[in-house]
């Protein structure tokens, strides 16, 4: 038996940026779509760091015609002078992981890119990178290839008398390392808008020059996170008109909180540290939850507003609450390189203390708002108690407590969840065809008769009363709500299988709302997909082509066939396809197109769900009117 030697010769020292190239996911999370956009975020972090110290008020993001990305700001510009060892500062920053001004508190009091690996990571993972610097009275330019210096720093021209200083970086991701170079305008647009909310009076523009009609947006919010809360509440009914805002700054740390109570069932809470979204919360969010619960509970007790409620819980206070918690810290500590959770324990007390002092004062000075806030909390507590009683009855009497699978479910033969799929199909007709056309070994089919209940408007006890939802929960097998457990998941892929029309889009949205609200890990861990059935099947001679859109149909006829095809069949719905067609076009892993549903930006998804599925009608009408002209195919 051969032994694996492990000695001194096995120890490698990676020079320069080689560690990034060898293990990119360690630095940017992944080499897929998420990591690709993380590269842009690293550059944006540097520009925002300039804004945080008052040296920058304009930032632009451009997806160029050649699919490269340019990020430019009017900050101080990267230093170009030589260090004591004779190497230029810009070259050190671009080619050394442990170099940057973020380690010097005199240069940056607060920084998101504290690890000092931001722009060097981008450089390491780019086939080519160009940096243009406006500094020291002149414009300078330098090119890097695959992380290495390709040209010397060159003088270009003198600055004009009123011309701003700043930095412009254009990069082309290295597709030998990255799995994709397909930048998504919408992803970058969302981040630009988010940063504009978090940094009042900073103007951030984003544009995409790749299309015939370039897209562009410019964001500036002088109201900061208060405007952010208003934006998130567009689809909700606010219980008090004014957004409550409070802030404090001490010892180089700052805390900013904005909140507004609504009549929604679901809370919408979002936290940031040094402009970085902390999706998993951390000490600052813990401080917020603790602080607001104590303040509201104390006010209710002092003003005899508890009625018959024996105990107020944090979930009662947060029901329907929309809040943004944004903190800055000179030395933030995050869990993981992608920085999704803040660890600095002192921020818990800082946020909690701010709420204790300022929110308590606000409620005392604004009794009308305080009354609405506390009454909403008491109603939530009463509803929680009643819902718990009702839920026990529903669970006892429903299929959720049964080990039997739903009668409509055509299960697969394998017991291996890692190799199995569940198709949730719109309509009994399409469900019947899918059952006949599937691969019985690893594909299960659950037909839906019509639309499920809108879970955005109801608590869990009402949701569980719906037979179709009960069937879905039972088929998936991992439970629901607080009891959801991925270890019990019966299928690796949950595939939403609906028509490409308005009704199909509605059913798809209802299902995604269910998964997002009560089975969130399903989406977070990448188990939810949407099937993409073709709109057309084109036959010419012995060839068969499937087209996903009118444009795709025209392209195939013009480029692939170059003439009039023998037959063009338009599918009005899944029910029109026979079992063989369903298999060939949408179920066969070799031919089908699936869209994986992700939560790249939970706030945007939450805001859109509230607009489309919430109780407030007018924002929904406004959204449909403003977006109707842009719709080509009804899809996710």
DSSP string, 59-98: EEEEE-TTS-EEEEE-SS----SB-TTS-BHHHHHHH-TT
User: Using an 8 Å Cβ cutoff, are 239 and 96 in contact?
Assistant: no
User: Using an 8 Å Cβ cutoff, are 194 and 61 in contact?
Assistant: no
Q: Decide if pLDDT at 327 tops 80.
A: yes
User: Using an 8 Å Cβ cutoff, are 165 and 136 in contact?
Assistant: no
> What pLDDT score does 30 carry?
87
Going by the DSSP 8-state scheme, the letter that residue 418 receives in this structure is G
Q: Catalytic residue numbers? A: 426, 499, 501, 503
Instruction: For residue 281, report the phi and psi dihedrals to the nearest 5 degrees.
Output: 70, -125
> What pLDDT score does 29 carry?
81
Which are the contacts of 165, defined by CB distance < 8 A and separation ≥ 6?
Answer: 74, 75, 76, 77, 134, 135, 159
Instruction: Please compute the mean of the pLDDT values over residues 174-182 and round it to a whole number.
Output: 93
Instruction: Please compute the mean of the pLDDT values over residues 589-604 and round it to a whole number.
Output: 75
β-pairing verdict for 421-426 and 154-158:
unpaired
Q: Give the DSSP per-residue string, 307-323.
A: TT-S---HHHHHTTEEE
Which are the contacts of 79, defined by CB distance < 8 A and separation ≥ 6?
Answer: 89, 90, 93, 101, 135
HSE-up (13 A, CA, CB side) for residue 279: 12
Q: What pLDDT band is residue 543 in, cutting at 50, 70 and 90? A: confident
Q: What pLDDT band is residue 316 in, cutting at 50, 70 and 90? A: very high
> What pLDDT score does 199 carry?
95
pLDDT tens per residue, range 444-469: 999 998 778 888 777 777 888 888 99
> What pLDDT score does 545 carry?
87
Instruction: Please compute the mean of the pLDDT values over residues 128-144 and round it to a whole number.
Output: 96
Q: What pLDDT band is residue 26 in, cutting at 50, 70 and 90? A: confident
Among candidate residues 186, 192, 189, 187, the one with its CA nearest the CA of residue 221: 192
Instruction: Please compute the mean of the pLDDT values over residues 264-274 and round it to a whole number.
Output: 90
User: Using an 8 Å Cβ cutoff, are 268 and 258 in contact?
Assistant: no
Q: Decide if pLDDT at 101 tops 50.
A: no
Here the contacts of 150-154 (C-beta below 8 Å, separation 24 or greater) are 153/80, 153/88, 153/90, 153/91
Instruction: Please compute the mean of the pLDDT values over residues 558-587 and round it to a whole number.
Output: 86
- Helices assigned H by DSSP within 557-616: 579-582, 602-613
> What pLDDT score does 7 carry?
38
Instruction: Please compute the mean of the pLDDT values over residues 575-604 and round it to a whole number.
Output: 82
Instruction: Please compute the mean of the pLDDT values over residues 390-403 and round it to a whole number.
Output: 58
User: Using an 8 Å Cβ cutoff, are 235 and 620 in contact?
Assistant: yes
> What pLDDT score does 8 carry?
37
**Cα 154 off chain centre by:** 40
pLDDT tens per residue, range 477-535: 998 887 889 999 999 999 999 887 777 877 888 888 889 888 989 998 889 999 988 88
Top pLDDT among 351 and 111 is at: 351
Q: Calculate the alpha carbon distances from 463 to 178, 437, 530 in Å.
A: 42, 32, 22
Q: Which of 390-394, 415-419, 544-548, 558-562 has the lowest mean pLDDT?
A: 390-394
Q: What pLDDT band is residue 131 in, cutting at 50, 70 and 90? A: very high
Alpha-carbon distance of 510 to 452, in angstroms, equals 7
Mean pLDDT of the chain: 85
Domains of the chain, with CATH numbers? 18-219 (3.30.565.10), 225-392 (3.30.230.10), 403-533+595-630 (3.40.50.670)
Instruction: Please compute the mean of the pLDDT values over residues 238-243 and round it to a whole number.
Output: 94
Top pLDDT among 523 and 60 is at: 60
pTM for the structure as a whole: 0.77
Share of the chain above pLDDT 70, in %: 86
HSE-up (13 A, CA, CB side) for residue 274: 33
Q: Decide if pLDDT at 13 tops 60.
A: no
Top pLDDT among 612 and 375 is at: 375
> What pLDDT score does 326 carry?
96
Which are the contacts of 9, defined by CB distance < 8 A and separation ≥ 6?
Answer: none
In our burial notation (b when 16+ CB lie closer than 10 A, e otherwise), range 73-89 reads bbbbbbbbeeeeeeebb
Q: Which of 31-40, 92-101, 615-624 has the lowest mean pLDDT?
A: 615-624
pLDDT tens per residue, range 429-438: 889 999 999 9
In our burial notation (b when 16+ CB lie closer than 10 A, e otherwise), range 558-591 reads eeebeeebeebeebebbbebeeebbbbbbbeeee
Top pLDDT among 216 and 597 is at: 216
User: Using an 8 Å Cβ cutoff, are 272 and 224 in contact?
Assistant: no
Instruction: Please compute the mean of the pLDDT values over residues 58-81 and round it to a whole number.
Output: 95
Instruction: Please compute the mean of the pLDDT values over residues 285-311 and round it to a whole number.
Output: 92
Q: Decide if pLDDT at 15 tops 60.
A: no
Alpha-carbon distance of 271 to 194, in angstroms, equals 12
Top pLDDT among 108 and 386 is at: 386
Q: Which of 27-41, 243-257, 394-408, 504-518 has the lowest mean pLDDT?
A: 394-408
Q: Is 109 helix (H, G, I), strand (E, B) or coil?
A: coil
CA angle 252, 256, 257 (to 5 degrees): 155
> What pLDDT score does 602 carry?
46
User: Using an 8 Å Cβ cutoff, are 488 and 418 in contact?
Assistant: no
Q: Decide if pLDDT at 631 tops 80.
A: no
User: Using an 8 Å Cβ cutoff, are 61 and 46 in contact?
Assistant: no
Q: Which of 114-123, 170-179, 448-457, 518-527 has the lowest mean pLDDT?
A: 114-123
Alpha-carbon distance of 490 to 495, in angstroms, equals 13
> What pLDDT score does 606 carry?
60
Instruction: Please compute the mean of the pLDDT values over residues 79-103 and round it to a whole number.
Output: 77
Q: Decide if pLDDT at 214 tops 50.
A: yes
| Angle between helices 602-613 and 617-627 in degrees, nearest 10 | 110
Q: What pLDDT band is residue 174 in, cutting at 50, 70 and 90? A: very high
């Amino acid at each position: 038996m051969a032994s694996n030697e492990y000695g001194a010769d096995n120890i490698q020292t990676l020079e320069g940026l080689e560690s990034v190239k060898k293990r990119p996911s360690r630095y940017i999370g992944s080499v897929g779509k998420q990591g690709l956009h993380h590269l842009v975020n690293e550059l944006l972090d540097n520009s925002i760091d300039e804004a945080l110290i008052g040296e920058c008020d304009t930032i632009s993001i451009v997806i160029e015609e050649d699919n490269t990305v340019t990020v430019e700001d009017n900050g101080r510009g990267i230093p170009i002078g030589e260090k004591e060892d004779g190497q230029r500062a810009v070259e050190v920053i671009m080619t050394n992981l442990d170099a940057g001004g973020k380690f010097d508190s005199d240069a940056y009091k607060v920084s998101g890119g504290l690890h000092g690996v931001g722009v060097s990571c981008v450089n390491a993972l780019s086939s080519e990178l160009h940096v243009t610097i406006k500094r020291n009275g002149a414009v300078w330019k330098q090119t890097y290839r695959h992380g290495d210096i390709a040209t010397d720093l060159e003088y270009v021209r003198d600055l004009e008398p009123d011309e701003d200083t700043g930095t412009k970086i254009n990069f082309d991701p290295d597709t030998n390392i990255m799995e994709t170079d397909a930048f998504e305008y919408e992803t970058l647009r969302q981040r630009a808008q988010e940063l504009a909310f978090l940094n009042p009076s900073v103007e951030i523009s984003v544009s995409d020059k790749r299309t015939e009609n370039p897209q562009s947006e410019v964001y500036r919010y002088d109201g900061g996170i208060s405007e952010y809360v208003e934006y998130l509440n567009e689809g909700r009914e606010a219980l008090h008109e004014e957004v409550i805002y409070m802030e404090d700054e001490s010892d180089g740390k700052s805390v900013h909180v904005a909140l507004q109570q609504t009549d929604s069932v679901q809370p919408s809470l979002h936290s940031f540290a040094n402009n970085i979204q902390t999706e998993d919360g951390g000490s600052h969010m813990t401080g917020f939850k603790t602080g607001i619960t104590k303040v509201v509970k104390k006010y209710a007790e002092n003003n005899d507003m508890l009625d018959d409620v024996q105990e107020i819980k944090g979930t009662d206070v947060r029901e329907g609450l929309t809040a943004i918690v944004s903190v800055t810290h000179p030395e933030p500590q995050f869990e993981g390189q992608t920085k999704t959770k803040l660890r600095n324990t002192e921020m818990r007390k800082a946020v909690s203390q701010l709420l204790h002092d300022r929110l308590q004062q606000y409620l005392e000075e604004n009794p009308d708002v305080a009354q609405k806030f506390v009454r909403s909390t008491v109603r939530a507590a009463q509803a929680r108690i009643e819902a718990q009683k009702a839920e026990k009855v529903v669970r006892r009497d429903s299929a959720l407590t049964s080990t039997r699978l739903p009668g409509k479910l055509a299960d697969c033969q394998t017991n291996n969840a890692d190799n199995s799929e569940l198709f949730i199909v719109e309509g009994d007709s399409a469900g019947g065809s899918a059952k006949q056309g599937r691969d019985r070994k690893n594909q299960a089919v659950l037909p839906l008769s019509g639309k499920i209940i809108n879970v955005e408007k109801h608590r869990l006890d009402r949701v569980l009363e719906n037979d179709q939802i009960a069937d879905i929960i039972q088929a998936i097998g991992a439970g629901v709500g607080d009891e959801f457990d991925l270890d019990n998941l019966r299928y690796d892929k949950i595939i939403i299988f609906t028509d490409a029309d308005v009704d199909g889009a509605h059913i798809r949205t209802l299902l995604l709302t269910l998964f997002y609200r009560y089975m969130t890990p399903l989406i977070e861990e990448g188990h939810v997909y949407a099937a993409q059935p073709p709109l057309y099947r084109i036959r010419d001679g012995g060839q068969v082509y499937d087209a996903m859109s009118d444009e795709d149909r025209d392209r195939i006829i013009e480029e692939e066939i170059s003439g009039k095809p023998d037959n063009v069949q338009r599918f009005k719905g899944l029910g029109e396809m026979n079992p063989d067609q369903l298999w060939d076009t949408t179920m066969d892993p070799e031919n089908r197109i699936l869209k994986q549903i992700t939560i790249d930006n939970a706030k945007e998804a939450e805001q859109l769900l509230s607009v489309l599925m919430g109780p407030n009608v007018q924002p929904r009408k406004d959204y449909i009117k403003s977006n109707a002209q842009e719709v080509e195919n009804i899809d996710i």
